[in-house]
Amino acid sequence: MDDQACPRCKTTKYRNPSLKLMVNICGHALCESCVDLLFLKGSGSCPECNVPLRRCNFRVQLFEDSTVEKEVDIRKRVLRDFNKKEEDFMSLKEYNDYLEEVECIIYNLTNNIDVIETNKRIEQYKKENKEMILRNKIKIGKEELELEELLEEEKQCDEIRKKELIKEEQELKKKKIREKEALIDELMFSNADAKNIVNAFTQSAQAAKEELKQTTSSPAPKATQFSTGIKFGRAQHTVYPMPKIEDGPLFTYKAPEVVVDGPEPPLWNSIETTGYIVHMRPETIEERAGGYTANIACMRALQEAFVGLYHVKQRPEPANTDG
């Protein structure tokens, strides 16, 4: 309960269940009443660290530990300038070093370690990467704007769908009331047997249900839209023909010529006849379905065995005996 208490007025959650603790950039919590009292003119200083604060920057504390709130604020502020992406670096190591540097800066500011030097590093970085920071901010702003537009579009579609469902339910209720009134009128003013009238209405209602079920059993495929705004479904895509390349002759396969200096390796057809295959494990049905046979493994083993004999030594050039 000590963590959930205002450090100034000592009010706790136990005494006041509706207590709201608020934090600012310094990370020290104050209850809402103390914030209104101390920052009546809109600005003031923190009672614990004397950091100048503004009333508009106070917000309700979400985490029990105020240090976490402070780290969240610092992380948001630092990442607004340190907004590089992985594609901005030449290698993954450089990107990881950059992320490590960002975490060190956040840790120092959160725990009040070398605050002055850390702020100098931030200012130096902002000067050296001013154009890239601005470009990435514009890019992030566009992405956020597009996401907000997609979410707003999704919200509007949901509202339209809800209105349609409510309208369908109301129409269904009105239809049931009309059918009920028609059945009552038929029973009151018709001379036919009441049992037959009820059966006729029941059969008519069942037929209408079956017809409705058949019409709704195979609806047209609709796109599914998730919270990201990306639509999935059987959409019609334009298929462009592949360009024809007529330059040059057509490809013709030619078997490679292997120059060996030693015994010739066995051919594919002679692997089984010469008895090499008896030393190999036969392939299973699943392996054979995948295109693998024992002959392939045998041929590879033989080629690896003979590979040392394939090397052809360069013959020395004849000595020049002229003159």
> Measured between alpha carbons, how far is 126 from 95 in angstroms, rounded to an integer?
17
pLDDT digits (tens, 9 = 90+) for 236-251: 545 556 666 566 677 7
CA 131 to chain centre: 28
Note whether 122 and 109 are within 8 A (CB). no
Residue 265 is predicted with a pLDDT of 73
Report the distance separating Cα 17 and Cα 121, nearest Å.
44
Instruction: Judge whether 65 and 41 are in contact, CB under 8 Å.
Output: no
Q: Which tokens is 247 given? A: 């330059």
Identify the pLDDT of residue 226.
46
The proportion of the chain whose per-residue pLDDT surpasses 90, expressed as a percent, equals: 0
Ranges of residues in the chain with a pLDDT under 50 are 1-2, 220-221, 223-235, 237, 323
d(CA 154, CA 230): 10
Round to whole Å and give the CA distance between 33 and 84. Answer: 41
Side-chain half-sphere CA neighbours of 315 within 13 A: 4
Cα angle: 77, vertex 83, 85; to 5 degrees: 155
The Cα–Cα gap between 81 and 148 comes to 22
| Residues sharing a CB contact under 8 Å with residue 274, sequence separation 6 or more, in sequence order | 266
The residues, any chain, with a CB within 8 Å of residue 223's CB and separated by 6 or more, are 231, 232, 233, 235
Whole-angstrom distance, CA of residue 23 vs CA of residue 66: 7
- Model pLDDT, residue 197: 79
3-state secondary structure of 59: strand
